[in-house]
Structure 1
Amino acid sequence: MTIEELNTKYKIAGQLEFIAGNGGLPMIRVNNAKAAALISLHAGQVLSYQPAGEPEDVLFLSEKAYYQDGKAIKGGAPICWPWFGADPEGKGRPGHGFVRNRAWNVVATEAMNNGDVKVTLGLVDTPDTRAIWPQSFSLLQEIVIGATLNLSLITRNTGKETFSITQAFHTYFKVGDIARTKVLGLEGCEYIDKAGGGNEQKRQSDAVTIESEVDRIYLDVGNTLTIDDSALNRRIQITSQGSKTAVVWNPWEKISKEMADLEDTDYQRLVCVETTNAANDVVEVAPGSECRLIASYRVIRN
């Protein structure tokens, strides 16, 4: 559908409109009494979320991000699905699956009674997706923008055989200074240390601080994590459902310089704290059934 057609069918006067974003990609701009947000239909990805009265965006978005078909957008809340990380079958398929670099469909928009705005995006299997992953599915993402940003990823098995998935909200959070940032709530958890291509299992003794490349899959985590961002005088609380693992990632200096879609110093201004089904947290979805991965983000002032 064109931007005009999308606005005709789904616009919410004074709260939600469709615009041509960077690279000409269709995007949804939300601006209500509670928050402002930007959502890209390419990748089905929330790119920006800023609660009313907050001086800074909750999400990090690279100034050098790609905005084109077949490319992932660096920042915001990308969706990894139906696998997290490298191709689990070693067939050379894209890392983190195939839904973060293709167009999603608008299913519905809604002005809710409590003043929030709800956007529902979707994907279904096609001959193209079945050539990559031979399963029949319906994938929905419900995005609720209010004083809290709520994301729900709903996987439905529309085929005749059970399939397995791993998945993630690979969310990039904006921080004032990575040297003054801590991630709370993972104390005592075992984690798989993937930094530098490793695979060693370790235990987190106290709050997570970042002083070098960090790429960790935390196991058997609780449902509440907190980013303590003292430089911006705020905490970002992350609550989740349907997840037993979490990933903390920061590329640090060397990888930031190697990534064409990051500025050399971006590692100082971001941390990914990801709500995941990763490693041994594999989800089996039987025919006719569904699973939900849910993450909510809210700002708490220090």
Structure 2
Amino acid sequence: MQFGMHGSLEQHGFARNTVWTIDKDPPPFPTVSSNKAFIDLMLKPSEDDPKSWPHRFEFRIRIALGPGGDLMLTSRIRNTNTDGKPFTFTFAYNNYFYLTDISEVRIEGLETLDYLDNLKDRDRVTEQGDAITFESEVDKVYLKTPTKIAILDHERKRTYVLRKDGLPDAVVWNPWDKRAKAIVDLGDEEYKHMLMVGAACVEKPITLKPGEEWKGRQELSAVPSSYCSGQLDPHKALRLG
């Protein structure tokens, strides 16, 4: 997750590097059926927060796991400043998918969309082709994306489905061979078996006034079916609750 990509904050924000606590008194979340396991976590400001983020906030997240293995993440961020000041932030879930072979993978749902190319100083480009495939390093932020994106692993005959709400963008990243060698916690050949695709809000940062709250949701599921013309088998596809 990314929280606050502004000013001197580190690239992926500070929320991922801080200690969360169990939220014992969460506000009402979307209904979770009795056959789902879930946990509520909370992040609040502490003395260890960077001086570059001089705001008070409450960041709540519910992590729910369904019986079929579908994973639902619901995030809420509230401005709790008492000085009347708003704050602005960007947000992303970083989902790393384990794949058989990156050269045999494609993404559907992002074709013909505009994206920001982080390898070219965030140049805005329009995607070409019928689907997204991979043959070199990729670091893109796709804009105004649909609520459903599919990652197809042809060799495994598995489709990962990402559904989202409140997160208009999508980040796609694979370091490929040269950059993978410079990443200490990634093996030189492991780029062949991974892909990061995450729901995000990057192009238009979110601004909250004191007392205001933002909410974003993401659901991940895997189905043993192919993704064709933007429609999954309705009996196998999982819906946002």
Aligned counterpart, 2:197: 273
Aligned counterpart, 2:79: 157
Aligned counterpart, 1:126: 46
Matching of residue 81 in structure 1 with residue 3 in structure 2: yes
**Is residue 183–residue 227 contact of structure 1 (8 Å, CA) maintained in 2?**
yes
Q: Select 2:121's aligned residue among 198, 207, 225.
A: 198
Aligned counterpart, 1:114: 34
**Alpha-carbon shift at residue 217 of structure 1 (Å):** 0.8
- Partner Cα separation in structure 2 for residue 221 and residue 281 of structure 1: 13
**Alpha-carbon shift at residue 97 of structure 1 (Å):** 0.8
What does residue range 139-158 of structure 1 map to in structure 2 within 5 Å? Answer: 139-146=59-66, 147=68, 148-158=70-80
What does residue range 34-183 of structure 1 map to in structure 2 within 5 Å? Answer: 79-83=1-5, 88-89=6-7, 91=8, 93-108=9-24, 113-129=33-49, 131-146=51-66, 147=68, 148-159=70-81, 160-183=84-107
Amino acid at match of 1:143: I
Amino acid at match of 1:158: T
Amino acid at match of 1:181: V
Higher helix share: 1
Q: 1:284 to 1:109 in 2, by over 3 A?
A: closer
**Is residue 172–residue 270 contact of structure 1 (8 Å, CA) maintained in 2?**
yes
RMSD value, Cα: 1.7
Matching of residue 259 in structure 1 with residue 183 in structure 2: yes
Aligned counterpart, 2:170: 246
- Partner Cα separation in structure 2 for residue 99 and residue 219 of structure 1: 23
- Partner Cα separation in structure 2 for residue 211 and residue 129 of structure 1: 39
Higher relative contact order (CA 8 A, sep 6+): 2
Amino acid at match of 1:119: I
- Partner Cα separation in structure 2 for residue 152 and residue 82 of structure 1: 18
**Is residue 192–residue 200 contact of structure 1 (8 Å, CA) maintained in 2?**
yes
Deviations 1:49-87 (A, max 9, x none): xxxxxxxxxxxxxxxxxxxxxxxxxxxxxx11122xxxx
- Partner Cα separation in structure 1 for residue 190 and residue 168 of structure 2: 29
Q: Percent same amino acid at aligned positions?
A: 29
The alignment covers a number of residue pairs equal to 215
Matching of residue 210 in structure 1 with residue 126 in structure 2: no
**Alpha-carbon shift at residue 130 of structure 1 (Å):** 5.8
What is the DSSP-based 3-state SS (H/G/I as helix, E as strand, rest coil) of the residue aligned with 1:131?
coil
- Partner Cα separation in structure 2 for residue 180 and residue 109 of structure 1: 45
The TM-score normalised by the length of structure 1 is 0.68
- Partner Cα separation in structure 2 for residue 198 and residue 232 of structure 1: 35
Q: Which consecutive unaligned segments of at least 5 residues does structure 1 have? A: 1-78
Deviations 1:175-196 (A, max 9, x none): 111011001100110011112x
The TM-score normalised by the length of structure 2 is 0.85
